[in-house]
Chains A and B, each alone.
Chain A
Amino acid sequence: MGGGAAGIHAALSEAAAGNKVYLVEHFPSIGGERIARDRIIGDGDAIYVPDVAEVKSHKKIEVLTSADVGALIGENGKYTVKLRCRTPRVDREKCDDCGECIKVCPIHMYDDYNEGLEWRTAIDFFNSESGNYNIFKEDLPVCQQTCPINLDIRTYVGQIADGKFAESLATIRQKLPFPLSIGRVCPHPCEAECNRGHKDEPISICFLKRFVADYEVNSGVTPNVQLTKVKYPEKIAIIGGGPSGLTCAYHLSLFGYENVTVFEALPEPGGMLRVGIPEYRLPKEILANDIEFVTRHGVEIRAGIRVGKDISFDDIREEYDAVLVAIGAHKGVGMRVKNEDAEGVFEGVKFLRDVALDNEVPNKGTAVVVGGGNVAMDVARTGIRIGFNEMNVLYRRTRNEMPASPWEVDAAEREGVNFHFLVAPQEVIVRNGRAVGMKCLRVRLGDPDASGRRKPVPVEGSGFVMKGDTIFAAIGQVTDNTLVEEKHGFQFGRKLNFQVNPNTFETDVEGVFASGDAATGADIAIRACAGGKRAAESIHQYLREKE
């Protein structure tokens, strides 16, 4: 197994001993990437050139390329190897190695065999020694594969390049109903994988999505709503009107479900997109456009109804044929330091929510923000906007380890947020019943822990006080699962998230599904949307099988 120099060497010596040999290679061609050689430090030239030609012509050796191993079964010298050889799409019996196909192929792609140092054509012989012609055609481009909801990026970007903006937006909406919002807030994992990044800089995929979505709004076009002729009568309740719940509702209505009701506890739908992401990143009226697109598909949103309080979970179960729990993760995690319940200490997520809902919030003096994620950045940048004189962010590792998106950190810094790295909060200092600062210790980075991140180690005698009239804890969120009770029989994870089957998003309770942050723990919006879409497919399957 493995057609590099070592594999070729082993195959030839086994064949010389009279054994029948199968040489199994994962890539389309044998030969390996390394120039195999003995140590040449001591003396002359000892480069070992694997004899690809002899392996190919040897009667005792059968070469199997593009092979994926399915199963290896057996023991004691009796083994079964189950292989699937990916098709080369070229009949090698017929191929006469003339090379004409390479001359006409218009696709010039990153040459992985040569480590990206040159380009090759989509039909190629991979390694010039082997002459195994092969068409490089994949199921999904790398961007699409990386996107949690598998948006057809290559198509919609190509449509923008052709000036077909409406078609591009339609491509996006086949899967995602929130192009305006996601096009603004997505941390775009697809761009990190973009192959163009190997050459210069990745394509600006996320902002291109925003562009086509903005283009529609700016041209005053109302998007078409196309629903299927097939209709289903079942009633589905979706608890939580955030990205996951609304994406699920959208896909259910595309399947033909006419009775989809979304229950939203807050006065306005949108979930974290509405009350988590600040307006300077995603304006309310922009988000409202995306949500309106979903409601125009016949989805009913009942805002201001908190399940577990205004209507019981049992009543919902009674009335609806299937239920999706997509309530997000809106509860801040405590800092676990002394006096953290003092007046003047706030959960970062609650602060953002209050700002978004125009509730009264502190906005004077100096504030301390504890945490290094995107919520901490949102709190700090919001604080600068609403009147705080100074926002001081404390993070216990360095800038390089910050979980926040680097562009958010840069923007916060430009806007005047102060960063204090390698600082661990110890205790909230309280005077006259109010927080007046945070006692901190300086730390240094020690050895990596189980997660691979270097663990902060306190520096003795380095204690100091960071003054602050207001202190925000932004170190993580968990799900508020109080809408259900123990008798319902749900299992919960570490983030109080609903345990689900990761493929179907089914909970342990029949007919109840969960997706988004409520199922995965706090994560990015596009992954919540992807979960909602998957949950819609599962709910559809569940209801149809029941029929």
Chain B
Amino acid sequence: MLCSFSSQTRRLLLRSFSTSRNVHIFEQLPPKRSGEKLMSYVKNAQYQRLDPNGSKRNLLSAENSSRLRADDIVTIIYKDQKPITGQILAIKRQGISSNILIRNKVGGVGVDISVPLFHPNILRVDIVRRPIKYRPRAKHYYIKGSRLDVGDINKTH
């Protein structure tokens, strides 16, 4: 087989063949995080830190039939500040930085507040009222300034 090569090439090839016999093949390392993908591991760690009992995740999960939806009237209860009430216009699902946009009229002035749901200062989110029939679309930005706009919502609704 080697007769077609030059003498120099033949020598090189022989040497590489001889060394290849001594190549040490290492044992495969055990998988890190017991095989879990890095991003899912990071996300789970964040959820464990910010939402240990899973109640906030449950509010956003698509499997939960009593999840938050646009058109619901909610009250957000904080640890150290007054609760805020309003109608949900939109829910942005993006892991621990998920937030809900709520709208209310305070003394005739419309106020939109976007609240990061997984902030440790938020104790819980209470659903005050659900509509009988939900409006179309998942984001209700179109109700602003129209006849569908929210009224003066307070906690007793």
The answer to whether A and B belong to the same complex is no
Q: Give the A-binding residues of B (Cβ under 8 A).
A: none
